[in-house]
Structure 1
């Protein structure tokens, strides 16, 4: 099968967002500071690694469809839908906000092109499904850092008695 121009354009849009996620994720990883630094720093490593692997898988899928992926910095900069990550040291709370926005932007791009991709190439759409599921999970997990709990923990009255038996 040879990809149409539309399929190539749609997959290219996802590719540049995935590359940008990897690059901006590294920027965040290097410059995050503050409370829970280590946990977020390590979580960013996971996201970055998956973004890199997802970009490679997608580019190779494009080549299998005789499409030509463009991962050059100019193509990425001109084509990405991700909001820019700030320069300098960024507090963990703000880093969480930016990373969630980046993850959500990549997912939005995939959802925006999904139906057109699926019409021409269900296999590529299946690949996008896997990416969406993982990136949405990351968005939830990263965002949990900035969410306040809604339940209060109440210790049962008999808990001390039960523990001593």
Structure 2
């Protein structure tokens, strides 16, 4: 059996690994949702959202990679298999089919709000057991809040059409 050692005490490593795994699942799901919306968005803001969603997906995939590599560095194998994502994501899911620009923006405003709330809980919990992981989650949350702001700005524009 392959074993990667960590400098964290076992209880701290176990809790940190759980929080990283939850984060990985949510980030991978967000990137999948972003790509799905990218392919199916329609409406007057199609081009703007199409490009914004690609930027969001790229950033989210980078974050997921950092989270997975942090878990690996702690000696925990990350799991981003489709079955795991489907079973454990805490994010709201998109309906099937073509999606209006209003639907897409509203969905991602809600998804980001939920994800940021979940990240803040994880930040709090990792602060007690692993400040290095906490720092990573803080950085990722700052970027998620930026993306959230951008979707909220789009929502404001849609409401004023």
Query: Is TM > 0.5 for Structure 1 vs Structure 2?
Result: yes
Whether the 8 Å contact between 1:19 and 1:71 is mirrored in structure 2 is yes
Q: Which of 52, 60, 71 is the aligned partner of 2:80?
A: 71
**TM value normalised by structure 1:** 0.85
Structure 2 segments unaligned to the other structure (5+ residues): 1-6
Task: Give matches, 1:1-165, under 5 Å.
Answer: 1-2=7-8, 4-147=13-156
**TM value normalised by structure 2:** 0.87
2:4 matched residue in structure 1:
none
Stretches (4+) displaced over 2 A: none
Which one is further off, 24-33 or 115-124? 115-124
* 1:53-104 alpha-carbon deviations (Å, 9 max, x no partner): 1001100010001112110111111111000111100000110001122222
Which one is further off, 99-108 or 42-51? 99-108
Whether the 8 Å contact between 1:13 and 1:109 is mirrored in structure 2 is no
| Deviation at residue 148 of structure 1 after TM alignment | 5.6
- The two structures, once aligned, show a CA RMSD in angstroms of 1.4
Larger Rg: 1
